[in-house]
Structure 1
Amino acid sequence: MQMIIVDDEAHWVDNLSMNKPWGTLGIEYVHKAYSAMEALQIIDIHPIDIVLSDVQMPEMSGIELIEQIKIKNRKIKCIILSGHSDFEFTKKALQHNAVDYLLKPPTDLELFSAVETAISQLKNEWELISSLERTQHTSGEPTDSAWTASA
């Protein structure tokens, strides 16, 4: 799995990307972005599974970033980091299906718990899709070619 950390404050991005044992959670690569626009460019190029984003950034907020991500790829899981405990931000994040809303500085337990929740949601969705595909494949429904051959 791949994750991206997005914040206009470089020390947050650098600290969170380099000083945490992400590999123990199954995160193979952590990308860094210092703006929402940079994050969108990285998401266009790399198979990102999880986004950990600040809520207040210049150009585009973390909430607007989630909106753009959901337009591009609904499967990406988003976690919001914020220095503000404003309920409106929390409400908007949850309305956009954010996995969690963490206050800065998050504890390692809070951070890892949110990422584990995102990973669990992704795995459950992948298993459901795989199960549906197997069910469709084994249901014996006639294919288009079988139907046209019998017509």
Structure 2
Amino acid sequence: FTGKTSAHAFLKSVLQNGVGKHVKQLKRITLNFSEASPSSRHVRKFVENDLVEFARKHPSVVVYAMPEMEQRPSVCVEYLNGREEVASLEKLEPDEILQKLDTYSNRSGVEILKIVKDIHTDHPSIQGQWHLFTNNTHNI
């Protein structure tokens, strides 16, 4: 993507989250890995040692561990807005997997896009934006 063709959006909040009780947007995590493959050994170690603690720390998130034969290690996360993301877990240590899952649990589920402007309103003023130097005279 170039600057003109890359995806971009205005700054916004997820359904006014934070106005009342904060609701984590992550709904479900599915860990896919092989029962015997060497590429899945770190994921198996994470599931055996760290997954229960992660699930206790995030009670609103449903966690599935799906061991299957000849499955590449990956994670599929689903958010409340219906968006899904899939990422590979190959060559990641258990602490890196935990860090990745923590990152997913703290995200809103909205696709990461380039922010067009810092300020956006659905009802723009005809008079324009006010700022500190609006009514000051300028001597150039």
Flag the structure with higher strand content. 2
TM-score when scaled to structure 1? 0.34
By relative contact order (CA 8 Å, sep 6+), the higher-ranking structure is 2
TM-score when scaled to structure 2? 0.36
Larger Rg: 2
